[in-house]
A and B are shown apart, each in its own frame.
Chain A
Amino acid sequence: MLGAITLLLVCQFAGEAVTMAAGLPVPGPVVGMALLFVGLLIRRRLRAGESLPDIPEDLERTATGLLSHLSLLFVPAGVGVMLYLPLIAEEWLAISVSLVASTLLTIALTALLMAWLVRIPGSGPSANETGCGETDP
């Protein structure tokens, strides 16, 4: 677990460094995610033929553990709502209608567009045939 956490932090740190150095508009952790993803791709290529799991077991377990309570991590920032209660009280109608309408519209448009686009090439596998957590062979 310690190794996996260290790896996650190293990726985040490298991501922050890249973002700062290149002046990217994207935050460090997102670049860190891309770096880890590319790292896993390279690792698999180097180890092609060996019968090892594609993702180190320790990393997989730690990542799954961290992500299983992802929504907890938003609570501290969410409590920040208390700083804006007066402003929100003043504009509550505009804010709440806008949030709900825009969120529902975005969900509907994205889902319908994606569902339509993946059907175009013809006989792609339907989602319910797909196994859980399968990895590339």
Chain B
Amino acid sequence: MTRDLHEIWVYLSASPLLGLTVTLVAYQAGYWLYRKSGHNPLVNPVLIAVVALVALLKLTGTDYLTYFEGAQFVHFLLGPATVALAIPLFQQLQQLRKSLLAIVISVTAGSLTAAVSAVAVAWALGASRETLLSLAPKSVTTPIAMGIAEKIGGLPSLTAVLVILTGMTGAMFTTYMLNLLGVKDWRARGLAIGVASHGIGTARAILVHPLAGAFAGLAMGLNGIATALLLPLLATWIF
């Protein structure tokens, strides 16, 4: 009996089905808690899912690559989902047209602030050069950030992790920060979360308000472009 169970476990843990299933189950659990908490931003479903999955993989001695064989099917959807951001953008076309210049100025300023302040603070606290270079593109959506890290000499896979930590930080604290500052304009709120915390921030903005969601999606795209163009120049100048 135990032997059968063991064989089943060996078979299942080697198939991509397990990685995919646990990813969905962990996220559902995180999302359930998020809903139960009345959409409290501190109860972040991504954070809950990541912590639960890392604990599970460590406990069962599964390595990341084995897990990713299944999880890659979820990861792959990031591409089509990014393309799909054209829809909320198009729905808010009139709003975007009205404030295009303001958007471009704010996103460029935000993009520079994100990169420079992250590197400056980490440098002051004694982070290694590798960490600094991996940290610089952390506010940009994962695929762009990894490309930038590679270009400037950081570790792309460390960047991916820092990008997601940044996204969670933004999604958890933006609401409090903006309420504290008294910013009520949904365009400004959406834009800020999109610049600072890319897709994870955008995911939260979409749930909170459609106008904020569209501006967040736009900000994420524009910030990706701005950072991809500016950061390599800035990096050769600083380092």
Which residues of A line the B interface, CB within 8 A? 5, 8-9, 11-12, 15, 25-30, 32-34, 36-37, 40-41, 54-55, 59-60, 62-64, 66-84, 87-88, 91, 93-95, 97-115, 117-118, 120, 124, 126-128, 130, 132-136
B119–chain A nearest beta-carbon distance, Å? 8
Q: Is there contact, CB below 8 Å, between B127 and A94?
A: yes
A106 touches B192 (CB 8 A): yes
Known: A30-B221, A80-B161, A110-B106. 6 other contacts (CB 8 A): A66-B77, A72-B74, A79-B71, A113-B109, A118-B99, A132-B211
Q: Closest approach, in angstroms, between the C-beta of A24 and any C-beta of chain B?
A: 8
Q: How far is the CA of A108 from the CA of B91 in the complex (A)?
A: 26
- By a beta-carbon cutoff of 8 Å, the part of chain B in contact with chain A is 23-24, 26-27, 31, 45-46, 49-50, 53-54, 57-58, 64, 67-68, 71-72, 74-75, 77-95, 98-99, 101-103, 105-107, 109-110, 113-114, 117-119, 121-122, 125-128, 131, 135, 138-139, 141-144, 147-148, 151, 157-158, 160-171, 173-174, 177-178, 181, 183-189, 191-193, 195-197, 199-200, 202-204, 206-207, 209-211, 213, 219, 221, 224-225, 228-229, 232
| B79 with A12: CB separation less than 8 A | yes
In contact, A95 and B143 (Cβ under 8 angstroms): no
